[in-house]
Every structure is written in C-alpha cells, then in structure tokens.
A = this chain, B = another copy of it.
Amino acid sequence: MTETTAVPQTTAGATATEAGAAPQDVTAAAHAIADRARAASRRLARANRAWKDRALLEIAESLVAKRDVVIAANRQDVEAGRRNGTSAALLDRLGLDAGRIDGLAAALRNLASLPDPVGKVERGQTLPNGLRLRQVHVPMGVVAAIYEARPNVTVDIAGLALKSGNAVILRGGSAAAGTNAALIGIIRDALDRVGLPADAVQTVDEYGREGAGVLMQARGRVDVLIPRGGRDLIQTVVNNAKVPVIETGEGNVHIFLVKSAGEEMAVDILPNAKTQRPSVCNTVETLLVHSEAQAAPAVLAALAAAGVRLHVDGRVAALLPEGAGGEPATDEDWGREYMDLDLAVGMVDSIDEAVTHIHRWTTGHTEAIITNDLANAEKFIAEIDSAAVVVNASTRFTDGGELGLGAEVGISTQKMHARGPMGLQELTTTKWIVQGDGQIRS
C-alpha cells in the first residue's frame, strides 16, 4: 500500500519541476547518469534470480549493520526540517529509527523470497511453418522514480527495481537528501560486493528539481517513470513528462449501500474502510446510501462513534443520530480525497443514480457495493469502470500485499500497462523470441 498524503505541497514542490529547460550542465550530468544506468541495466538483465536475491540479502544485512550511520544522517535531515517549520506529519514520514530500518531490511528479505518476474513465458506456440515463438518477460531497463521526503521509498523502489532486473534512478524530496545519500551509498556498496553494477542504483538528488526535470524529458534514456506521492507531485510529473509514466495513487473511493444491504456487514465494513488507515489511497471517501437502505442509520451512527466527521447532503442529515455533527456536503466534498477522518455521504434513489455519481467523481481507483441482491452486484461490477470493484468487503483490500502480489510498486489509476496494484511483473516488459531454421515470408 503506497501511503500518500493530502498535504504534500512542501515536499512535492521541492521534488517536482516545471517544464522549463534545465541548464546544459545539469542536462549533461543527468544524461550521463542515465547512460550509466543503461549500461548497468544490461548487466543486471542477465543476472539470474539467485544473484539478484544475494544482492537483496546483502543490502538488508548491511542496512541493519549500518543503522547508526543512517540514523545519524536522518537526524540531521529531521533537525533541518524542524528548523524550517516542517509539519509534524511530514517529519514523521521523514524519520527513520532502528525499528523502521529493520522493517526495510525485512521487506528486502521478503522480496528475495518472491519468484523472479524475469524469464516468465507469457505465451508461445509453434507456428504452422515451424517457427518457434515465445513471449518472455524481460526487465524494462531504466526505471526512474520521483517521490517525496520519505526515505523508506528509496530502499523500497531500489529493491523492487533490482528484483525485476531494472536499473533505477531515484529523485527523493530534498528534505531527505542526506538520509537518501546514506542509504544509496549502502546499497551501491552491497551491489559492488556481490559483483553487480553499483550504477544499477543512482540518484539525481544533487541536481534538485532541474535533475528531476531532465529525467521527465529523457525519452529513450528512461523507459518508465513512476511518481510516488501526493496529488500535486503526481500531476506535475504527468503534465510535464515526455517519458512513459505510470500514474499511481489517487483514490476518491466510493462505497454504495443498497436497499438490501445487511446491517451487520455494513456496520463492519464502513468504519473499517474509513478509519483503519485514513491516510492511504484505498480508504473510502464517499458513502452513497440508497434512500430505502434500512442499514443507513446504524452505519452513520457507527461512523460517528468511530470519530468520523460526516459531510452530508440534506436527506442524509435527517438520518444522523443525535450529536453526530454533520456538515452540509458541497461539490467540493464529492470530489475530494480527504485522506483523513472525513467522509462525504449522499443519498441516491437508484443504482443508476449511484453509478452516474461515481462516474462523475471517481478517480478510478476502487469502488465497493454492499448488497445482498445479485442483480445489483452484477450491474455494479459491469458498469463501474475502476481498477478494483469490490462486493461486500472493505475497500482497504486494494493493495498488492493483500491481493497476493507479494510486493507492491504502487497502485496504478491509469489503464495502460498496469491497472490497480502493481507487482514485480508490472516492472517488466516482454520480448518476442522467434526461432526458425531458414523460414522466409512468402
């Protein structure tokens, strides 16, 4: 689950860049980094799983052994942030302690335990003319990542790229530059010790937002660019990039409570979907209740009891229990990803009205229906055009780990290449291998 935040401006602004041209020396330096990444990617693409796993375990061990170095660098970043007036929430994301570093090492060991996505044969056949054909997964090549001041992402993305045979160029938020430099140094040393190219993991942090800008424009040098962070960061990248981008993470998630929905299930699911981890993208942001849904008052009471601030339309207001608060909902509420203990609640008179509302406001991440009616369930599945459509379960399951992908790169909200939770396979492309014995085309 990629955690994103509703208040990323201070770091997003620091990592993103406008489309303006970078100075020539920055362009040349970033291109040189990309060219070294390309050379490293060619060596990494030929490394077998055992070798890549050895590197992941070596990095994990080294991170634990050098915890103090990382923590010292991180303390400087955090102190600088505090002096600059960075919010407590952002400082929390920036901070690393021994427990968090052990968590990063554990995630790398988990990556080592997963199957290699490279070499998997997607499909194949022998053609009538005797040509043997197979479509095989191969690494993308050079992956770039632009993200915020969250140093855990540095280790996370480097590990995912390595396991999938890709070289990676990182650009983290400036506020974490010291921590990232320490982490990247440890990773590169570990790669070198196991005989893999250190240049498989590089950073353009020293070139600031201009470096990020060069990456976004480096068509042919960067095969795919993954922005990870809040809405502003992702939109800046999507709007300025000329290299292929995978857009991740924005989730204006809906749950529709139909007439037939059982009260017990609804009272379980709604608070879970809203409060279990409010700051992430698969958290529900709008509840639509059918005007005849019997379960609605109990659900609203359960949400209020869980501390959820309800933003409601006029008809929902009449259902609120005593003392549940409830501000009037506006269009801004329907369009908003709160990422906090807020929830917009609206009433509809039919499933068609619910589908129309969702089509208008959704970001295409996850929508759920709570129903005991088969026709409603089938209609919702067929008509909702989002990466994940959930029936009678919490929206919090739209997550690579929960859906059995083993590891997660992010949650794609676009339709090209990857949609929904992206696992290691989504960091690969394919190659057609055609073997013959002299066939020509007639």
Contacts and interface: CB of A to CB of B under 8 A. Distances in A.
Interface string A212-240: 00000001000110000000000000110
Interface residues of A, number: 67
A183 to B, nearest CB: 27
B385 A415 contact: no
Given A42-B385, A131-B393, A242-B239, A420 B432 contact: yes
A416 B416 contact: yes
Nearest to A128: B404
A394 B439 contact: yes
Nearest to A242: B239
Given A429-B415, A434-B388, A435-B391, A440 B404 contact: no
Nearest to A136: B381
Interface string A380-423: 01110111111111101110001110000000001111011100
A399 to B, nearest CB: 8
Contacts of A224: 415-416
Interface stretch (A8-16, A193-201, A265-273): A265-273
A284 to B, nearest CB: 12
Contact of A45 (B265, B385, B434): B385
B404 A438 contact: no
Identify which of A133, A141, A244, A272 gathers the most chain B CB atoms within 10 Å of its CB.
A244
A135 B423 CA distance: 13
B431 A386 contact: yes
A133 B416 contact: no
Nearest 5 Cβ contacts at the A-B interface = A393-B436, A272-B440, A415-B429, A396-B441, A417-B417
15 contacts: A42-B383, A45-B385, A141-B385, A223-B415, A238-B242, A385-B431, A386-B431, A391-B436, A393-B436, A397-B441, A416-B429, A419-B429, A419-B432, A420-B430, A421-B432
Interface of A: 42, 45-46, 125, 127, 131, 133, 135, 138, 140-141, 219, 223-224, 238-239, 242, 244, 246, 264-265, 268-269, 272-273, 276, 359, 377, 381-383, 385-394, 396-398, 402-404, 414-417, 419-421, 429-441
